[in-house]
Amino acid sequence: MKEKLMNIVFLAAACVSIVMVVLICVFLLGSGIPTIKEIGVFDFLFGKVWRPGNDLYGILPFIVGSIYVTAGAIIVGVPIGILTAVYMAKFCKGKMYKIVKPAINLLAGIPSIVYGFFGLWVIVPIMSELFGGSGKSILTASVLLGIMILPTIINISETSIRAVPESYYEGSLALGATHERSVFKVVLPAAKSGILAGIILGIGRAIGETMALIMVAGNQKIIPDSIFDGVRTLTGNIVMEMGYATDLHREALIATAVVLFVFILIINLLFSVIKARSQKE
């Protein structure tokens, strides 16, 4: 009876999760797709001007801005995150591990608004001093976002590396490989599926980040020409204008959330495909 009861509880919990996802999809698609049709798919997705007062709702600058910032965060955060995870799992000694691990966990618990203040008062002045201008740019946002996704990548990658059977490492050593070569040529490739999962989750965090980016990205509604230009992301545009938006303007912001949701789905689908191929290999 206890086992049957717990099976029912677990099934109910899983069903709640599924129902929540379905409800979100129904709300977003039901509200956003008619608006996209009203504005025009091409005008909405590829329009370069966002001017609600003139009924111009082109979100291409926000799409480009989100892609640039996310790509920059990947370039900054992924190499550092993976190397840190390798160090934590295979090189870090006991006393140092007790210091570094809590620090990384603390990094994961810092609110995004605090990251935003850090970026505004520390990173922005440094960028302004090095490259000129206001310092609020794609580069600044990428650096800050790269820092923010580090805990996700590090923790999941470290867990994946530790999950690799020790026989892989020992077998490599027995064949004459050094410790470093065994880690990077044998253990790390064996953990690539879990590491990839951490990277995908980090990308999801980067795309969905809002408050910190609003404070350091410059919030310019233009397609940037360089990494030193200001930019506004999809999430930033929604947050900054939803408070006073009405009628078609409000519906256009919900349609923007639909585009963001589709981006997340595409990323998850790509991860599933890559993971399936890696398992076949």
CA 87 to chain centre: 23
Q: Give a yes or no: residue 40 inside a domain.
A: no
Q: Nearest-CA neighbor of 116 among 144, 146, 135?
A: 144
Q: Give a yes or no: residue 34 inside a domain.
A: no
CB 238 within 8 Å of CB 174: no
Q: Give a yes or no: residue 50 inside a domain.
A: no
At residue 85, the pLDDT reads: 92
Q: Give a yes or no: residue 49 inside a domain.
A: no
At residue 75, the pLDDT reads: 92
Distance CA 268, CA 197 (A): 10
Domain that holds residue 192: 61-280
pTM score of the predicted model: 0.84
Q: Give a yes or no: residue 45 inside a domain.
A: no
Query: Kindly report the CA angle at 43 between 38 and 48, in degrees rounded to 5?
Result: 140
Write the CB contacts of 73 (distance below 8 Å, at least 6 apart in sequence). Answer: 141, 142, 145, 146, 148, 149, 202, 206
Q: Give a yes or no: residue 202 inside a domain.
A: yes
Distance CA 181, CA 166 (A): 15
Q: Give a yes or no: residue 31 inside a domain.
A: no
At residue 268, the pLDDT reads: 78
At residue 279, the pLDDT reads: 63
Question: Is the four-CA dihedral 70, 71, 73, 77 of positive or negative sign?
Answer: positive
At residue 220, the pLDDT reads: 85
Segments of the chain scoring below 50 in pLDDT: none
At residue 15, the pLDDT reads: 92
Q: Give a yes or no: residue 17 inside a domain.
A: no
Q: Which CATH number is 149's domain given?
A: 1.10.3720.10
At residue 28, the pLDDT reads: 83
E-only strand ranges, 39-91:
50-51, 56-57
At residue 80, the pLDDT reads: 93
Domain count across the chain: 1
